[in-house]
Chain A
Amino acid sequence: MTSMETTTKTADQILEQLRDYVAYTLTSAKGLYREPHSYGAMRMVDSMERALHLLQEAGIKDEALELALSAVRKERWRAMTDPQGFGRAIDDSVLGLVVLSINK
């Protein structure tokens, strides 16, 4: 279920967070030219998390989606030390999204 909540953030604050998000994503893209291969998946997941956080700050939150992402959140710490384990966690979250999509 998607819920709309009253936002407590001002437009300026959200704009500032949007700048954080854009700079983070753009800088991550540049970094990938020289950084380890496995960083790509980690940066994409982190970027997605920031986008979801922005939406949440704007008053939009989808609990089913949050639940589907729980595996990747829980195993996020493996991104650098155990990339394959992190990959499996992404698999689990993707499968969660499949279930969510089919049942919609």
Chain B
Amino acid sequence: MKVIDAVKSRRSTRSFEQRTLPPEMIQEIENAILHSPSGSNAQESHFVIVQDEQQLRLIKRFAPGLSGDPAAVVVLCSNATESLIRGGIDTAEVLRFVNLGIAAAYILLIAHSNDIGNCPVRSFHRESIKKVLGLPEEIEPELLISLGYADMPPRSKTSKKVLEVISYDQYGNNH
């Protein structure tokens, strides 16, 4: 699948088949993470790929936004300390979140291009997820991405009109 096709056709999946992911798919996710760019090449983020049934259950318990029963969850974490050391103040304050957003997009598109349903989730209890995963103090969970085989076709997406979102050459210029 071409990247542009993946971009256009990806939708959030909130209901999954009871089916595990093949090891190759996990490798693809690892590749997405490792090849994702980061500001100043700081590579300060950390990712926890969860497939263990009991761990998934505990994550779901404290993540109301996590719908369905995904086969895996990727927990995207920031690291303020390492951000400051490797990237400076701007990375510590802002870029570490931008970097995670870019990594998230890579993961979503790689998953979708392999026909794996996915959904980014922010509704979770941070401290609980931190405890469930045994994250060190300086590592903070920022976003979850659920992964699995969708058990129903995606719904259509409603987007704003292009002119509401994009300007040309100057803000508000529509042509």
Are A24 and B158 within 8 A (Cβ)?
no
Chain A interface residue bracket vs B: 10 to 19
Stretch at the interface among A4-12, A25-33, A59-67, A92-100: A25-33
Determine whether A14 belongs to the interface, using a CB cutoff of 8 Å to chain B. no
Check A27/B62 contact, CB under 8 A, given A20-B57, A35-B123, A39-B123. Answer: yes
Q: How many residues of B contact A (CB 8 A)?
A: 14
Can you identify 21 A-B contacts, CB atoms within 8 angstroms?
A19-B61, A20-B57, A20-B61, A23-B61, A23-B62, A24-B64, A27-B61, A27-B62, A27-B63, A27-B64, A27-B125, A27-B128, A31-B65, A31-B123, A31-B124, A31-B125, A35-B123, A39-B123, A43-B64, A77-B14, A77-B155
Q: A-contacting residues of B (Cβ < 8 Å)? A: 14, 57, 60-65, 123-125, 128, 155, 158
Query: Chain A: interface secondary structure?
Result: helix
Q: With a CB–CB cut-off of 8 A, which chain B residues contact A23? A: 61-62, 128
Determine whether A46 belongs to the interface, using a CB cutoff of 8 Å to chain B. yes
